[in-house]
Amino acid sequence: MVMALRARVDRKKNLMSGRPATPDDLTVLFERIDPVTETTLPEVSPATPTSVSRRTVLIGSAFAVPAITLTAATPALAVSGPTLAFNQPSYTAPGCSTISGVKITAQEAGAPKAGIAVTASLSTGYTFSDGSSSTTSTTGADGTVTLLAINVPSVGGSGTITATASGATSTTSTLTGTAPTFAAYLRSGTRTAGSGVPANAKPLSGGLFLTRDKDVIDAVTGKTLVKSVDAAGTLLRDGTDTWLATRYTDGTTGLVRNTTQLPTTGNVDPGSTPIGYTVFLSPDGRLVDGFANKQYATGIRSVGTITIDAAHVWWLALAKTDGTFSYIQGKTQNSTGVANTTEIPCPAIPAGSTPTAAGFLTTDGRLLDRTGNVLATNVAKVGTPFVTGSPARTPLQKTDGTATYLENNTEKTAVDVPYGSTPLTDAVFLTVDGLVIDGTTGKLIATDVATPGGVFVDGNNQWVIPLSVRTTTPTLFRVDQYGYTYDYAAKNTPAGSTAVAYSYFRTPDNKLVDGQTGTVLANDIDTWGWIFTDAKKDYALPLRKTDGTTSFILNGTETATVGVPANSRPIGNSSFLTADGRLIRGKDGTIEATGVKAVGQIFLMLPNFTALVPLLKTDGSCVYLEDGVEKAAQGVPNGSQPVASTYFRTTDGRLIDGATATVTATNVDIWGQIWLEQYLGNQGNWDLPLRKTDGSFTLVRNASEIAAQNVPAGSIPATAAGFLAPNGDFLNGFGGTVERTGIATFGQTFLTSGNEAWRAYGARPQTC
């Protein structure tokens, strides 16, 4: 018997959540590091806030960890009397931390107004450091008051802060909180929890993290390398030593050689941006070496990501202020075949190109090497090359959202990497729902990732990436057949477990646990497909094990597959996609289709309980299966991405129903889980949540597109009408209501034979 921790009567329009099948950029559950992002001048800004006390963030910070956002609203125009305003448009801090340095300014007739008693009031959940929700202070000669530190609740969520004063126009700002994180790191495909790193630290590169106290800590050893750091470059090893370039909170610069702090030479100006190795970019566009005391280039507008090759030569692509391009071939103490560090012009690079870690990305999506040779076309994002790997690989995101990688300069399609995933390094990608996947095998190597850092290659030629990982508590959500909702604590499910589907979680030690009963259903789980109930009301969830073998959960029991080769990809129900493109039903070994490249979500359509699943064939054609019968998709261009049911997304963003050739939506970016609602009062409606390329949100309800209501920017389409907002609210886009708060992660929704809908999710911590 499942014991309800909390029950709430709430007639739902339905908001179940499901792990998005088609992720895009890292925005909501994690802050994404865009591998194409370049360091640009003259707009060089601090990467992190000035020095503060533990778990505190100051005004003006740009600390890139999941955090609170405080956005100041513009006060209404007053006819007379003083006006009030917050001193910054936004403030950031994660749950269980504090916001410091918030100021309110009183002005009258455009001049500071002293002696005004200003009251600041917080909405429920947020408190000042003295425990109060309201505080009053009097403005000084400069017309300002500095507020007490604001405590951020563990679950985050939305709130407000309002400033009022007698005779003054008030102003209200919005508080938005996101989940806290812990430190971990990946070493060539293996995730390890970090040591000695406090919560909510920012991943830098390698195993390094920048804490909110401005300490740089090595999560591998737990040791603090350097303090009072504002920004850091890419960690590089030159064959003998490991180097970290830093900028301190006072604007000065320094180096760390292995574990020894060194000053930079006099040619590094205060406020310079650390790039990597011993190299800095000065505010006036000079590239200088803070150890060798040399200047390598001038007139720099932006730079790519610094890398180092097997010969210990470092490389850096440059864009110049005069519109030209060049690259640096850099000598280290262990370089072979390089006499000096040299800037080499790149006349073949077209105007407007972006320097990356792998060369230059043109405005039309061509990835060019330093000499102008085309490495790949239709490229949107470029990861960091693992140039010392055997073979050498570079991950790419294409303009249509698919994932590929260059292997010794030959482009290959990534295996089992969802649409829109972010390239990291080697052939490794990060999905929008926080999964890290090896694109050479489809192996799942990390989950619940909020933010990745930069890449470092250690002395054993293994790549290392630091990760901030969401801190979650496994929880269950149920809607009964009458629309009543319930929440439960998942049984026998440790913190940090990943929500999968129904009431199932994958634990950190790779067990599949049913959170309703605490039963271990399977061991050594690598990845999974879509849970699905067929017309006979048998439900199944396909699984792949860490050793590559396959099985599926059939009506709650693990069952061996029939005729499914090792390392096949789990799709839906008991179906798997083999490496040679066969779609095989693992329940009985039936080959359902051949020549298959990609598969969308399976869906059971009423009123005839017809099973529908879209397919992209290896020849580029698009088809769908209708109760196992293959049919050509109508009006769908070759190469379109299978979404769900009979729907496909074209390369230009149109969502087309292949059964009718109807264009249902345009400018589609990413989508969530298709869902058929079956409980009382809403039976038979189905929904597919969408995010558009302009950042807006819509729903496809019963084959018609409608606008989603009250969904904030940066949200993720989840399931049915559901969206997960940056503040942890789970929203019903059909009605615009908040269905749940404090949500960090979510699994697939499942409908039982008794018409009860279940969802597993990772809740944000309830206490600090």
Please write the tens of the pLDDT for every residue from 97-123.
788 889 999 999 889 999 999 999 998
Q: CA 477, 478, 484 angle in degrees (round to 5)?
A: 125
**56-57 and 98-99: which strand pairing?**
parallel
Whole-number pLDDT of residue 726: 84
Cβ atoms of residues 362 and 350 within 8 Å: yes
Out of 145-149, 296-300, 604-608, pick the least confident.
604-608
Single pTM value for the model: 0.80
| Fold of the 67-177 domain | Immunoglobulin-like (2.60.40)
Place of tokens 């006060």: 75
Q: Is 60 exceeded by the pLDDT of residue 37?
A: no
Query: Which of 60-69, 573-582, 748-757 reaches the highest mean pLDDT?
Result: 573-582
Whole-number pLDDT of residue 678: 61
Exposed e or buried b for every residue in 389-405, given b needs 16+ CB within 10 A?
beebbbbbbbebbbbbb
Please report, as a single letter, which amino acid is at residue 491.
K
Residue 374 in tokens? 């085309």
**202-203 and 190-193: which strand pairing?**
unpaired
Whole-number pLDDT of residue 89: 76
| Average pLDDT of span 453-470 | 95
| Average pLDDT of span 163-168 | 92
Whole-number pLDDT of residue 65: 31
| Average pLDDT of span 737-766 | 89
Contacts of 375 (CB under 8 A, 6+ apart): 358, 359, 367, 368, 369, 394, 406, 409, 411
Distance of alpha carbon 328 from alpha carbon 335, whole angstroms: 14
51 pLDDT band (50/70/90 cuts)? very low
Residue 120 vs residue 400, higher pLDDT: 120
Whole-number pLDDT of residue 11: 32
| Average pLDDT of span 369-392 | 95
683 pLDDT band (50/70/90 cuts)? low
Q: Is 70 exceeded by the pLDDT of residue 69?
A: no
User: Exposed, middle or buried by CB within 10 Å (0-12, 13-18, 19+), for 182?
Assistant: buried
Nearest CA-CA partner of 234 in 223, 224, 243: 243
Q: Is 60 exceeded by the pLDDT of residue 41?
A: no
Give percent above pLDDT 70 in the chain: 89
Distance of alpha carbon 748 from alpha carbon 371, whole angstroms: 47
Out of 171-175, 304-308, 514-518, 668-672, pick the least confident.
171-175
Distance of alpha carbon 203 from alpha carbon 495, whole angstroms: 21
Distance of alpha carbon 203 from alpha carbon 181, whole angstroms: 11
Whole-number pLDDT of residue 54: 24
Mean residue pLDDT across the chain: 87
Out of 31-40, 448-457, 631-640, pick the least confident.
31-40
Distance of alpha carbon 680 from alpha carbon 113, whole angstroms: 59
The count of other CB atoms within 10 Å of the CB of residue 590 is 14
Q: Is 70 exceeded by the pLDDT of residue 646?
A: yes
Whole-number pLDDT of residue 50: 28
Please write the tens of the pLDDT for every residue from 613-630.
999 999 999 999 999 999
Distance of alpha carbon 89 from alpha carbon 73, whole angstroms: 8
Q: Is 90 exceeded by the pLDDT of residue 323?
A: yes
Distance of alpha carbon 526 from alpha carbon 544, whole angstroms: 6
Place of tokens 């690598």: 526
Whole-number pLDDT of residue 682: 56
Distance of alpha carbon 477 from alpha carbon 479, whole angstroms: 7
Please write the tens of the pLDDT for every residue from 650-660.
999 999 999 99
Residue 677 vs residue 29, higher pLDDT: 677
| Average pLDDT of span 83-90 | 86
| Average pLDDT of span 232-261 | 96
Give percent above pLDDT 90 in the chain: 69
Distance of alpha carbon 96 from alpha carbon 55, whole angstroms: 8
| Average pLDDT of span 170-193 | 87
Long-range contacts of 338-346 (CB under 8 A, 24+ apart): 338/311, 338/313, 341/289, 341/292, 341/294, 341/296, 343/296, 343/297, 343/318, 344/370, 346/317, 346/370, 346/371, 346/372
Q: Is 60 exceeded by the pLDDT of residue 186?
A: yes
Whole-number pLDDT of residue 159: 80
User: What does R_g of the chain's alpha carbons equal in angstroms?
Assistant: 27
Q: Is 50 exceeded by the pLDDT of residue 758?
A: yes
| Average pLDDT of span 419-423 | 92
Cβ atoms of residues 69 and 105 within 8 Å: no
Out of 50-54, 281-285, 296-300, 735-739, pick the least confident.
50-54
The domain ranges of the chain are 6-28+471-519+606-763, 67-177, 531-600
Distance of alpha carbon 271 from alpha carbon 388, whole angstroms: 33
- DSSP label of 515: T
Residue 189 vs residue 364, higher pLDDT: 364
Longest dimension (CA), the chain: 81
Backbone region of residue 271 per phi and psi (left: phi > 0; alpha: psi in -120 to 50; beta: other values):
left
Q: Is 50 exceeded by the pLDDT of residue 433?
A: yes
Out of 326-340, 435-449, 482-496, 506-520, pick the least confident.
326-340
